[in-house]
């Protein structure tokens, strides 16, 4: 499959993000985010390598690209709370320690799995070809995205048990991640249905 000019630009952007941040994290000896850069490289290869079959929209590809950039920035920019990932945006809830809402990390989780929810919704509707039972398709896409997010939590777990220092966090962080993963997927798919019901 030949990529369009826009797809080529997005592919180049993703490659630049991976190479640039891989070099940065290698220089900083930050093996946690270097591993994440490798993960983004794999995602890029799979995403663009399967476009012939998946036919993902430009919007979805842009969403994945934005996530990759936000994810890499999260470990490289310093804030008053530490790295950007730990930045506390607004104290909607403060239960002490890492039990805090809203942090940059949570926004990125919600955004990413909103995009993943839209990917599953697209695959079920446009690739598998299920054009009926919209509520069922929406629910399947939402919970598929939430289930897929387990891979994210496993990667964070592996980083926590194999590296001396990570910013992964503990139990509260993991459960909050899962809540924002599900919430992001739910909002994205419902908005898609309400705004583009006939598309």
Nearest alpha carbon to residue 72 among 110, 38, 21? 21
pLDDT at 64 over 60: yes
Q: Which residues lie across from 101 on neighbouring strands?
A: 93
Q: Do both 55 and 28 map to the same domain?
A: yes
Distance CA 102, CA 87 (A): 9
Q: Do both 66 and 143 map to the same domain?
A: no
Cβ count within 10 A of residue 121: 24
**Contacts with 124 (C-beta within 8 Å, 6 or more apart), sequence order:** 130, 137, 140, 141
Q: Do both 100 and 40 map to the same domain?
A: no
The pLDDT of residue 131 is 85
The model carries a pTM of: 0.89
User: Which of 53, 76, 99 is the endpoint of a domain?
Assistant: 76
The pLDDT of residue 99 is 87
Q: Do both 117 and 196 map to the same domain?
A: yes
Q: Do both 108 and 196 map to the same domain?
A: yes
To the nearest 10 degrees (0 to 180), the angle between helices 104-122 and 58-74 is 160
pLDDT at 162 over 80: no
pLDDT at 20 over 80: yes
For the chain, percent of residues with pLDDT exceeding 70: 93
User: Which of 76, 92, 116 is the endpoint of a domain?
Assistant: 76
pLDDT at 6 over 90: yes
Q: Do both 70 and 101 map to the same domain?
A: no
Q: In the predicted model, what is the mean pLDDT of residues 120-140?
A: 93
Q: How many CA atoms lie within 13 A of 90 on its CB side?
A: 2
pLDDT at 168 over 70: no
């Amino acid at each position: 499959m030949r990529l369009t000019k826009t797809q080529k630009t997005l592919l180049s952007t993703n490659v630049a993000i991976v190479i640039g941040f891989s070099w940065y994290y290698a220089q900083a000896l930050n093996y946690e985010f270097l591993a994440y850069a490798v993960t983004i490289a794999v995602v890029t290869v799979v995403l663009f390598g399967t476009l012939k079959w998946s036919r993902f929209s430009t919007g979805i590809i842009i969403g994945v690209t934005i996530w990759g950039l936000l994810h890499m920035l999260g470990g490289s920019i310093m804030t008053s709370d530490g790295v950007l990932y730990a930045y506390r945006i607004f104290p909607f809830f403060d239960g002490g320690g890492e039990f805090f809402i809203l942090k940059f990390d949570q926004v990125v989780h919600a955004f990413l799995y909103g995009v993943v929810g839209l990917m599953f919704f697209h695959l079920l509707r446009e690739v598998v070809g299920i054009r009926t039972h919209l509520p069922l398709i929406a629910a399947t896409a939402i919970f598929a995205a939430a289930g897929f997010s387990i891979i994210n939590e496993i990667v964070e777990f592996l980083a926590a048990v194999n590296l001396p220092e990570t910013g992964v966090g503990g139990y509260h962080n993991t459960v909050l991640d899962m809540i924002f993963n599900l919430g992001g997927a739910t909002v994205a798919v419902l908005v898609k249905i309400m705004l583009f019901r006939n598309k």
